[in-house]
Structure 1
Amino acid sequence: MTRYLVFQLYAPLASWGEEAVGEVRHSSSIPTRSALLGLLAAAVGIKREEEARLNQFNQHYYVAVRALSRQESWLRDYHTVMIPRENKKRTYATRRDELRLAPEEVGTIVTQREYRCDAYYHIALKETPQAVLPLEALSEALVAPHFPLYLGRKACPLALPLSPRIIHGTLAEAFRQAERELPDPRAPGLASLITSNPECYWDDPEEMSITVYGQHKCADQPVSRLRWQFGDRIRFHGRLGEGG
């Protein structure tokens, strides 16, 4: 029987970065794979510069998301960012070198960043036989994380405990059980956020307990944190059946 680590995510603001082109940083409506794996890696204490550990960690878990929000909204704020002006006669190894070695060439631009508001999710994680840490270790880390956890940006701290638990069964059964058990009694208003038929998203190609409505290619599989590179994956989406 399949095991899933299931936990909840809620915060007044969350930002799930998508591919960034230009001065606008869009947010996905659901947590990206890279964001979820990053949250778990931070919980167990893997540092961003530990490239080999991160690459090994990121390969052996399937993630699934159930987006429960009935009517989420979003907002956009503005930042000023220092960037070097174009200078074709000089090249630098890194952006840090550009800012440090050529301060006279630095200009300022305004960028825009998107946030999701009052979004509530249930997350289910499935391990492969090659997983470096068992689900029990990840569950313990989510209760007492090594590094502070946040939803996409440091300005988006958690507003509820993650309440992790290990559930046996199909993915549909895991989400059904989470729906009965996870909503926090300390947040009575949470029930008003939950829609009657939430959509599910997952990347396990062998998942058969949820009816597939479609699939989408996403560029959110971490490849290199140091070089900020991401690879493609296929993400499926659908909803639980009446008996799921």
Structure 2
Amino acid sequence: MKPYLVFSLTAALGAMGELAGHERRGSLAWPGRSAILGLLGAALGIDRDGDFAALDALDLAVAVFDAGAPLRDYHTVETVPSAAAKRPNSRPEALAVARGRTNTTITLRDYRAGALYGVAVWGEGLEALAAALMRPRYTLYLGRKSCPLAAPPGAKVIEADSPEAALAYLTLPPWRRARTATARMLICDATEDDVVQEQVHDIPRDRALWHFAPRRVALRDVTITVGGAP
């Protein structure tokens, strides 16, 4: 047995980063490694340009209890040609100067509505991470800043034989504690024995430039049931 930090993530809307272009911001069906490390960094109070070395060394797994419903939001983005703006003092001034010469683009934003995930983390410094999740320095989001968590993570450190066993001790959100929750999928680093694998780009390489490296993850069929005990 070894120690695991376990906590839940749920939000009315969540957006788990995916490869994105200018017109499209997609979302995975679960939070990737970079999203979880960023959330832990926010709890600790680490800025984007801070030292993430200790967090990068952690191992983690994600269980999908509720994948949520896909939701797509359409945005109209209006930009001003640089030749028309000529260093305006404000956006309204730039739009007034442009006088109909603006460029309008429709962009897409994908979300997951009502999702619930369980996260298991193992490595060094788990107690400090659990304390930080209970009293985070920065606001915690499930992806974008428009997606704050709907309930506290309920972080705790327990001893278990595996991530699956550890996740059975999750603290569910208040509205789920009267009934059980069951996960059917676990996402973790893939091994040669894993039959179902997928490649995702979620290993942070350069946080300033938003560069991410690929990794192979396993999608394991599991049954993890949480009884709802606080």
Q: TM-score, normalised by structure 2?
A: 0.80
1:25 alignment partner in structure 2: 25
AA aligned to 1:44 is L
Aligned to 1:77: 73
Residues in 1 aligned to 2:213 and 2:80: alpha-carbon distance in whole angstroms: 28
Q: Which residue number in structure 2 is paired with residue 187 of structure 1?
A: 175
Distance across 2 between alignment mates of 1:212 and 1:168: 25
Say if 2:164 is the partner of 1:172. Answer: yes
Aligned counterpart, 1:97: none
Q: Is the 8 A contact 1:149 1:158 kept in 2?
A: yes
Contact 2:134/2:154, CA 8 A, preserved across alignment: yes
**Aligned mates of 1:107, 1:163 — CA distance in 2:** 46
2:91 is aligned to none
2:165 alignment partner AA: E
**Cα distance, 1:84–1:48 mapped onto 2, change above 3 Å:** farther
- Residue 199 of structure 1: aligned partner: 185
- Give the partner amino acid of 1:108: T
**Number of the residue aligned with 2:228:** none
> Cα deviations across residues 74-125 of structure 1 (Å, max 9, x unaligned)?
11112233557699xxxxxxxxxxxx9xx97963322110110111010001
Q: Map 1:74-223 to 2 at 5 A.
A: 74-82=70-78, 107-127=103-123, 131=124, 134-169=125-160, 170-178=162-170, 182-184=171-173, 186-188=174-176, 191=179, 194=181, 196-203=182-189, 205=191, 212-223=194-205
Name structure 1 gaps, 5 residues minimum.
Answer: 88-99
Contact 2:190 2:197 in 1 (8 A): no
Q: Secondary structure at the match of 1:177?
A: coil
Take 2:179 and 2:106, find their aligned partners in 1: how far apart are those partners?
Answer: 38
Q: Percent identity?
A: 35
Distance 1:241 1:162 in 2: 21
Quickly say closer, same or farther: Cα 1:3–1:84, change in 2 above 3 A. Answer: farther
| Aligned-pair CA distance for 1:176 | 2.3
Superposed displacement of residue 205, structure 1: 4.7
Q: SS of 2:43's equivalent?
A: helix
Unaligned runs of 5+ in 2: 84-93, 225-230
TM normalised by structure 1 equals 0.76
Indicate conservation of the 8 Å contact 1:4/1:167, yes or no: yes
1:48-59 aligned within 5 A: 48-50=48-50, 53-54=51-52, 56-59=53-56
The answer on whether the counterparts of 2:61 and 2:186 sit within 8 Å (CA) in structure 1 is yes
| Structure 1: distance between partners of 2:145 and 2:22 | 22
- Per the alignment, do residues 241 and 115 of structure 1 end up closer, same or farther by CA in structure 2, a change over 3 Å counting? closer
Distance in 2 between residues matched to 1:155 and 1:234, nearest whole Å: 29
CA drift of 1:157 comes to 1.0
Counterpart CA distance in 1 for 2:80 and 2:179 is 48
Residues 167 and 48 of structure 1: is their aligned pair in 2 closer, same or farther, counting only changes over 3 Å? same
RMSD: 2.9
Deviations 1:196-243 (A, max 9, x none): 45211012759xxxx94422221110111111100111211212369x
* Kept in 2: contact 1:5–1:164 (CA 8 A): yes
Q: Return the offset for 1:65.
A: 0.5
- Distance in 2, Cα, partners of 1:82 & 1:172: 47
Q: After superposition, give the CA deviation of every residue in 1:23-52 in whole Å (9 maximum; x if it has no partner).
A: 1111101011111110000110110122xx
Distance 1:241 1:109, change over 3 A: closer
Task: Sort the Cα spacing of 1:64 and 1:85 in 2 relative to 1 into closer, same or farther, 3 A.
Answer: farther
Q: Measured at CA, do residues 147 and 241 of structure 1 come closer, stay the same or move farther in structure 2, by a change above 3 Å?
A: closer
